[in-house]
Structure 1
Amino acid sequence: MSAVCVYCASGPVDDRYLQLATQVGEALGRGGHTLVSGGGNVSMMGAVARATRENGGTTVGVIPRALVDREVADVDADELVVTDTMRQRKQLMDDRADGFITLPGGIGTLEELFETWTGGYLGMHDKPVVLLDPFGFYEPLLTWLNDLTTTGFVSERSMKALRVTDSVTRAIELATSR
């Protein structure tokens, strides 16, 4: 089975986003997959980790020492790795994952999405990068990025490298296939 890194919010969010994170965790767990996450047990990050474990999957949390208290470290993770820096966190998450799914989130989530997506586009990895967007959260961003293809700032090839879906099942399929 695959290890899937899920990027998502670690701060307060509406219940529908927590339910989405839970659905992703349930699907990962039922599929026997490993979740790689930011190692927090709050908000969407905590919901996806708990649901993964409750449905038979394993979890690997990677969290910088400076965020152990702030994001409330997921001490129930099957493996919790504490790093010294955020860069080490992201590198370990990238290394441990076979694919990536981004859920709604803030600037940290966006930064993780863009770094992973850019790395794949530049040939630094060949792992699938999936954007799961059942509520249209990312529609304005996607519209802007598609508009940038007309000016040449974003290539059609890079847009095709980002796999966008509104289905949890399809997101898992895309993230676990090459």
Structure 2
Amino acid sequence: MAKVRLSGTITGAHDPHRSTRAKLLYLLYDAGWDIYNSNGDQRITLSNIEKKITEADGFVFTPGASLEDMFKAVSVFVGYQTLDKHLRGKPTVILNSDGSWDPFYGVLGHLHKLGTIKQEFREFLLSADTPESVLTTLTGAWQTGVPDAGREKIEDSMMPQVVDEPPPSHLLGNVCVFCSATLEEESYLSDGESVGRAIARAGFGCISGAGKSGIMGAVVKGSVDAGGWTGGSNVPHIIELEGLPKGLSSFWLRPDIYTRMEVMIEHSNAFVIMPGGAGTFQELLALMIFRQQGNPLMQDKPVVIYNRQNRNGIGFWDPLIDLLDGVCQPGEFVVATEMEDILPAIQSRLPQVVSNAS
């Protein structure tokens, strides 16, 4: 029988979403679906999320969207975008009867307008208003399949050569830049090179998702051209879509995007969120979840969101910052609206000159 994975956690007998979940369980089970996480007590981590995705045949997200729920939903979408074979043909439905998913959809809609999300995301993350419509939507999507993401491979499937040059002892630490690998507008690429160059000149190593294209490739180029140490991580099926940049000092090949994120976080002392798409949204949510869980991988590591302003004063990340303001505590991240403010924001928040041993 097909298996569907439910999101969400029921906090007790008086949880307002308990009856909705009970109705969902009945309808899905009665229609022939087996159900993972029926009690809402399974935790998803970067280490196990790929396994959880692999073992399910479809996904249903429930009302009461939490930071963790949104991370899981955008992770599924990123999997669709990057042609993850483990998501092939597996539909996703979001029950948004309480409107708690509206800010999440708002971020994706904003990024779609800006061009960093090319796909019509609502065709992949299907919305439903009632438990009954969840069943109808899920059944229909199970029969018709998931839409094509419209991407093609640019590299063959040969494994890249792994390089591992340790950071030099004089580095103050490593700054990780999360950003778009598809945005090719010249002014954004110039920003990427400037950030990579500034990181190197300030005495930091530069870590990225090791993509050759877009802002990500520009960041690496800026760091390499300035003589900086550069590290990065990527996975085989994304390398086939985006290629690898030249000049990486260290490269960590990982089997999935979640262990890729984990190794990048582990090797970094600070984070910059540049303009990006669903993947950058996903990565920032992972940082915030780690921070709220007290994960030692995020201890004393500042997160700076570069909220690039357009000519009308609208920030690239305005909807995302609004979303985070509703679920994060003050100080969990800082916003910079000017390029020259990014490095000072990092330097002023690092507890001390850090060792490159991390």
Give the TM-score band, short-chain normalised.
0.7 to 0.9
Matching residue's letter, 2:321 = L
Question: 102, 106, 113: which one pairs with 2:284?
Answer: 113
Question: 298, 304, 307: which one pairs with 1:133?
Answer: 307
* C-alpha distance in structure 2 between counterparts of 1:67 and 1:21, whole Å: 20
- Kept in 1: contact 2:234–2:260 (CA 8 A): yes
* C-alpha distance in structure 1 between counterparts of 2:212 and 2:284, whole Å: 20
Comparing 42-51 with 128-137, greater Cα deviation is found at 128-137
- In structure 2, the partner of 1:43 is 214
Cα 1:92–1:65 shift into 2, 3 Å: same
Alignment TM-score, normalising by the size of structure 2: 0.45
The aligned length equals 170
Runs of 4 or more off by more than 3 Å in structure 1?
143-146
* C-alpha distance in structure 1 between counterparts of 2:346 and 2:181, whole Å: 21
* C-alpha distance in structure 2 between counterparts of 1:84 and 1:175, whole Å: 30
Alignment of 1:167 with 2:338, yes or no, is yes
- Kept in 2: contact 1:99–1:129 (CA 8 A): yes
* C-alpha distance in structure 2 between counterparts of 1:88 and 1:119, whole Å: 14
* C-alpha distance in structure 1 between counterparts of 2:234 and 2:256, whole Å: 9
Cα 1:145–1:113 shift into 2, 3 Å: closer
**RMSD of equivalent CA atoms:** 1.6
Calculate percent identity across the aligned residue pairs. 26
Matching residue's letter, 2:226 = N
Cα 1:141–1:87 shift into 2, 3 Å: closer
Matching residue's letter, 2:322 = T
Question: 308, 321, 326: which one pairs with 1:142?
Answer: 321
- Kept in 1: contact 2:272–2:305 (CA 8 A): yes
Matching residue's letter, 1:39 = A
Q: Which structure has the highest helix share of the two?
A: 1
* 3-state SS in 1 of match to 2:195: helix
Structure 1: gaps (5+ residues) = 149-153
* C-alpha distance in structure 2 between counterparts of 1:112 and 1:89, whole Å: 10
- In structure 1, the partner of 2:200 is 29
Question: 65, 73, 86: which one pairs with 2:257?
Answer: 86
- Kept in 1: contact 2:275–2:308 (CA 8 A): no
* C-alpha distance in structure 1 between counterparts of 2:289 and 2:260, whole Å: 18
Question: 183, 187, 190: which one pairs with 1:19?
Answer: 190
* TM alignment of 1:54-93, pairs within 5 A: 54-93=225-264
Report the alpha carbon displacement of residue 67 of structure 1 after superposing the two structures with TM. Answer: 1.5
Which protein is bigger by CA-based radius of gyration?
A: 2
Alignment TM-score, normalising by the size of structure 1: 0.88
* C-alpha distance in structure 2 between counterparts of 1:145 and 1:75, whole Å: 35
Cα deviation per residue 1:5-56 (whole Å; 9 max; x = unaligned)? 1000001332221111111011011112111110111110000001011112
Report the alpha carbon displacement of residue 141 of structure 1 after superposing the two structures with TM. Answer: 2.5
Cα deviation per residue 1:78-113 (whole Å; 9 max; x = unaligned)? 112211111110110010000111001000000001
Cα deviation per residue 1:102-143 (whole Å; 9 max; x = unaligned)? 001000000001111221233212211110113210123323
- Kept in 2: contact 1:29–1:55 (CA 8 A): yes
Report the alpha carbon displacement of residue 76 of structure 1 after superposing the two structures with TM. Answer: 2.2
- Kept in 2: contact 1:32–1:56 (CA 8 A): no
- Kept in 2: contact 1:52–1:58 (CA 8 A): yes
Q: Which structure has the highest strand share of the two?
A: 1
- In structure 1, the partner of 2:15 is none
* C-alpha distance in structure 1 between counterparts of 2:320 and 2:246, whole Å: 34
Q: Could you say which structure has the greater relative contact order, defined with CA pairs below 8 angstroms and 6 or more residues apart?
A: 1
